[in-house]
Chain A
Amino acid sequence: EVQLVESGGGLVQPGRSLKLSCAASGFTFSNYYMAWVRQAPKKGLEWVATISTSGSRTYYPDSVKGRFTISRDNAKSSLYLQMNSLKSEDTATYYCARERDPPFAYWGQGTLVTVSS
């Protein structure tokens, strides 16, 4: 059974950094593109980042480009999201998702990030 478990969320001040983790199991992690998607409270969904199988290719929307970095450790079946220069508008539940086969079929339960002073 595919499982994705996020961790690392919490309360952080504006301008500070936070690193999220996602532990994957139930599939061969190194064979799949992986992604982060977020959802602000009572709002819609926003794709945040995607990383290729080897980690050599990464993709971001303009809203986080230059501030967020997606990475992975295939030996540990883990996905990460380093978030720098956090803003109040980054407050959201962050989901880790498997990007392929089927596309965006599997999601974690999410971890809440609150950016506030």
Chain B
Amino acid sequence: DIQMTQSPSFLSASVGDRVTINCKASQNINRYLNWYQQKLGEAPKLLIYNANSLQTGIPSRFSGSGSGTDFTLTISSLQPEDVATYFCLQHNSWPRTFGGGTKLELK
């Protein structure tokens, strides 16, 4: 199975900060990596698919990069509504596996 190691687990940042979250795959997953935002009591919301494609309707302050084993989600200027938990998902191979999550809070 491909292990997805997400870091950091917890992040505190201020409004306007540039925020980066990382996912590292235990094997090459090409670009088959998604990023999700999940707010309390809600289903995950897709932000980025296939490493760097912005999902329709998602603000352009969110971006993704990487390929192979190392991936990054960047929020260029943190907004209060971005407080949430963020997950990565690899869909390159079976079983699909998620990262452990990054809880993002406002400082």
Q: How many residues of A contact B (CB 8 A)?
A: 21
Of residues 58 through 107 on chain B, the ones whose CB sits less than 8 Å from some CB of chain A are: 87, 89, 91, 94-101
Q: A62 CA to B97 CA in the complex, in Å?
A: 12
- Which among A44, A50, A103 is the interface contact of B98 at CB below 8 angstroms? A44
- Which among B50, B87, B99, B101 is the interface contact of A102 at CB below 8 angstroms? B50
Instruction: Looking at the assembled complex, report how far the CB atom of B10 sits from the nearest CB atom of chain A, in whole angstroms.
Output: 14
Interface secondary structure of A, over-half rule:
loop
Do B44 and A102 touch (CB < 8 A)? no
Interface secondary structure of B, over-half rule:
loop
Do B87 and A103 touch (CB < 8 A)? no
Q: Identify the interface centre among B43, B49, B55: most chain A CB within 10 Å of its CB.
A: B43
Do A47 and B98 touch (CB < 8 A)? yes
Q: Which of A14-22, A66-74, A82-90, A106-114 contacts B (4 or more CB under 8 A)?
A: A106-114
Do A46 and B46 touch (CB < 8 A)? no
Residues of A that sit less than 8 Å from B by CB: 35, 44-47, 50, 59-62, 95, 99, 102-110
Do B49 and A105 touch (CB < 8 A)? yes
Residues of B that sit less than 8 Å from A by CB: 1, 32, 34, 43-44, 46, 49-50, 53, 55, 87, 89, 91, 94-101
Do A102 and B53 touch (CB < 8 A)? yes
- Which among A50, A61, A95, A99 is the interface contact of B43 at CB below 8 angstroms? A95
Residues of B within 8 A of A106 (CB): 46
Q: A109 CA to B41 CA in the complex, in Å?
A: 9
Residues of A within 8 A of B1 (CB): 61
Instruction: Looking at the assembled complex, report how far the CB atom of A74 sits from the nearest CB atom of chain B, in whole angstroms.
Output: 22
Residues of B within 8 A of A108 (CB): 43
Residue of A nearest to B94 (CB): A59
- A44-B32 contact, Cβ under 8 Å, with A102-B46, A103-B49, A108-B43: no
Instruction: Looking at the assembled complex, report how far the CB atom of A86 sits from the nearest CB atom of chain B, in whole angstroms.
Output: 20
